[in-house]
Every structure is written in structure tokens, then in C-alpha cells.
A = this chain, B = another copy of it.
Amino acid sequence: MDYSHRKACARIQLLGADGQVAANRVLHIDQTAHRFLFGCGAFDAVALNAVPDEKIRATLEARMQKWCRLFNYGTLPFYWGRYEPEEGHPAFEPTMAGAKWLQARGVRVKGHPLCWHTVCAPWLMKYTNAEILDKQLKRIEREVSAFRGVVDLWDVINEVVIMPVFDKYDNAVTRICREYGRFELVRRVFETAKQFNPSSTLLINDFNTSPAYEILIEGLLDKGVPIDVIGIQSHQHQGYWGKEKLYEVLERFSRFGLPIHFTENTLISGDLMPAHIVDLNDWQVSSWPSTPEGEERQAREVSEMYSILFAHPLVEAVTTWDFIDGCWLGAPSGLLRKDGSEKPAYRALEGLIHGEWETHQTLMSDAQGYVCFEGFKGDYRLSMDGRAADFRLLGNVNTQLTLL
């Protein structure tokens, strides 16, 4: 794998607190944060800040501790039907508390999603389509304004390819998508999100990776819709895509030159869901256990997939969907087992994120106090004899640092 585009070179002249060059000194260079977004669903961060039961909170806290050991990027739920189950009463406080809890731990937060036909608010159904669209845009204005500075990444709209033809149940968003068309609806929701948070990073997101999604994106960009990132779901309950499909999808969606986020990644550690199931939600099982062989397979697949994605120049984020087993569809889709113990996939990911892909070096400065090194892009701490200096390595740098 070629990860050179993830790295940069630093040439740093070290100065002591006295302003003198620190020549011929041993120092430690430690990466403290990644530029790449290693993400995971972080719904527990909201629960943690909302659940009164001490015992449950302790469990969630222990779990989120393991979460924070791996990840620097969390997805928080903004499903309209759950975020605002009753019109005018949004779950602002617990969601904001969860977001701030993550932010305080150096985690960037993404809101998911602002517009989607699934888990849509049922109370919208009594309104006309014009009123629904108005409320949809007002909701976007409200959320991106209220969370600005805390949540600056948004899955603005989810699963547009299927949106107007979604026929599992009648819902308000399918109605407006049908009435106004995909292109106009997407334009309105993106422009509203950008208007009320101009510095936000806005994603379109879909599970459909066919040419239909490509052409949708092409037409939206042609229309001038401010899409910042292409979001690709990859729920692989029916089996790992494999290298070939992964490269093929990456190639097709690279054409636009936009950053790509793998927004919802699932690789399971149990029996695979049968291939004939079209809508994953149709697979209802009473129990779906994690197995030892499944866990080994999951670890292998997670390693391979993350390595391929990390090597791709346009990929800027990969988000594992479920942190723990038994969440969506009851699947063994987590990096932790139901009892909270770490699976091989957790350790494999830890070995990549905080091992292979993280820079830690011990160097000696030269006679002029210079050190040179190449490291993975991100934040760094240089330390020497109890003194330290922090700096950010996003591109090649040539600078002076004073160790205090």
C-alpha cells in the first residue's frame, strides 16, 4: 500500500526556553491526532448524557472509553422522527450534551441525517407538500444554526436515489421528493444548510453505488449544488465487497475529484445475511451470534478494507457503523461483543490507527538544533527533558519550535 499522500515532512529547528538552539539532543516525536477521520457511530454519547440510571451510564462510559481509544470522528443521530417526535419539541439538550462530550475529547462530530424518508416525523403527514418542504428547510436551518461550532459536518440528505420511489410506507419526505424532484429538493436542502453554516462540510449519502448515484451527483454538481463530500454507505451484512468491488466503486466515484467518506461501514462477525434479501431491514432474526471464525474473518476484512481506503487519495473518512454487536438488525456488526469485550477487529483497527498509521519517533537534533522526519498528517507533540511543543503537520513544514 502507498500511504505517501497521508504523510508530510517536517524540518524543525528546536529552541530551548532560553531561545538558544537545542543542539544534539534526544527528543520524542509523538503524533497526538490524525488528520484522517477514523469514525464510528457515537449514539451512546447522547445516551450517556441523558440516561439517569447510574449503572447503565457506567456501562456506556466504559464503552465510550474504548470508543475514544480508537476514533476521532463520531456520527450523532438527527433522525427527524426521533429527534423531534412531537412537533416543536426537539431533543436539543441531550444531543448537544453528547456532541460536546465528544468534542471535549477531541472528536469531530457529524450529524446524520437532516433529510431522509426513513425514520421521518409522522406528524408531518398532516401538512401539504409545500408546508412539508418549508418545515424541512426550517428544521435544517434550526439544527445547523444551533449546533454550529460543535457539529460542522452533516449528512444533509440520505438515500436520494430511492427517495421518490420508496414505497414501503407513505412518508412526508418521499412526498416532497416526488413533488419537487430529486434535483430541486437536494438543491434546497444543501443551500439551506450552507446558508446557515457556511463553514460546514456537507455530505450527500447513499447505499446505492450504481451509475444511478453517479449520475445523480453529476447532475447536482452541474446544477451548482454545494456538495462538499460524497458519502458512500457500505453495509456488508451479505458479505465483504472484496478488493475488486471496492476499487471499482472508488474509481467511479473519484471521477468528480470530491473527497469521499465511507459513512456507514459494516462487516459482520457471524453468519452472512442471504444474498436474496434486497432491503436489509427485511432480515429479521431472533438471534444473530458472533462466532470465533466470523470474528477472525471480520478482522481480516476490516484490515484489508481500511488499508485500501486509507491508501486512496480522495478518501478522507471511514466510519464503522455499529461500535457494539446487536445494534442495527441485531447483527454481530460491532468491534465489541455484546458483553463489551474487544473483538479481533477492534485490535486490528487499533493496530492500524494507533500503530502502523501513527508516527512515533525518537530522534537526535543536529549541531544546529534541526530534526527532520516524515510522519502521518495530524497533530504532534515534540518532547525533550520534560519540555514540549505542539505543532500541526498537514503539509511539508520548515519551521522553528520553542520547547517550553
Binding site for B on A (CB under 8 A): 161, 165, 181-184, 208, 210-212, 214-216, 218-220, 222-223, 252
Q: In the complex, A217 Cα to B223 Cα: how many Å?
A: 14
Which among A182, A208, A218, A220 has the highest number of chain B CB atoms within 10 Å?
Answer: A218
B216 and A183 contacting across the interface, CB-CB below 8 Å: no
On whether A211 and B181 interact (CB within 8 A), knowing A219-B223, A223-B219, A223-B222, the answer reads no
Interfacial chain B residues near A183, Cβ < 8 Å: 218-219, 222
Q: List residues of chain B with CB within 8 A of the CB of A161.
A: 211, 215
What distance in Å separates the Cβ of A225 from its nearest Cβ neighbour in chain B? 11
Contact of A222 among B210, B214, B219 (CB under 8 A): B219
A215 to B220, CA, bound (A): 11
The answer for the CA separation of A183 and B222 in the assembled complex, in Å, is 7
Given A210-B210, A211-B161, A211-B212, are A184 and B222 also a contact pair (CB < 8 Å)? yes
Kindly identify which residue among B165, B211, B216 contacts A219, using a CB–CB cutoff of 8 Å.
B216
30 contacts between A and B (CB under 8 A): A161-B211, A161-B215, A165-B211, A165-B252, A181-B218, A181-B222, A182-B215, A182-B218, A182-B219, A183-B218, A183-B219, A183-B222, A208-B211, A210-B210, A210-B211, A210-B212, A211-B212, A212-B212, A212-B214, A212-B215, A215-B215, A215-B219, A216-B219, A218-B219, A219-B219, A219-B220, A219-B222, A219-B223, A222-B223, A223-B223
A315 to chain B, nearest CB (A): 21
In the complex, what distance in Å separates the CA atom of A184 from the CA atom of B211?
17
A114 to B208, CA, bound (A): 32
Chain B residues near A214 (CB-CB < 8 A): 212
**9 closest pairs, A vs B, by CB?**
A219-B219, A183-B222, A211-B212, A212-B212, A215-B216, A215-B215, A212-B215, A183-B219, A181-B222
In the docked arrangement, what's the CA distance between A182 and B216, Å? Answer: 11
Chain B residue, CB-CB nearest to A214: B212
* A181-B218, A181-B222 given; 4 more Cβ-contact pairs under 8 Å: A165-B252, A182-B219, A183-B222, A219-B222
Q: For the complex, what is the distance from the CA of A210 to the CA of B209, rounded to whole Å?
A: 13
Q: Which of A208, A211, A215 has the most CB of B within 10 A?
A: A215
Q: How far is the CB of A282 from chain B (nearest CB, A)?
A: 19
Residues from chain B with Cβ under 8 Å of A210 in the complex: 210-212
**A181 to B223 alpha-carbon distance, docked (Å):** 12
For A165, what are the chain B residues with a Cβ–Cβ distance below 8 Å? 211, 252
Bound Cα distance A208, B215 (Å): 13
Question: How far apart are A190's CB and chain B's nearest CB, in angstroms?
Answer: 14
Chain B residues, Cβ within 8 Å of A181 = 218, 222
Residues on B with beta carbons closer than 8 Å to the beta carbon of A215: 161, 182, 212, 215-216, 219
CA distance A184 to B181 in the complex (A): 19
Cα distance A2–B354 in the bound complex, in angstroms: 68
Question: Chain B's nearest CB lies how many Å from the CB of A263?
Answer: 20
Give complex CA distance A208, B181 in Å.
21
Inside 8 A of A220's CB, which chain B residues have their CB? 219
CA separation between A182 and B161, bound complex, in Å? Answer: 18
Query: How many Å lie between the Cα of A210 and that of B162 in the bound state?
Result: 12
Contacts of A222 in B (CB 8 A): 181, 183-184, 219, 223
Question: Could you tell me the distance between the alpha carbons of A208 and B211 in the complex, rounded to whole angstroms?
Answer: 11
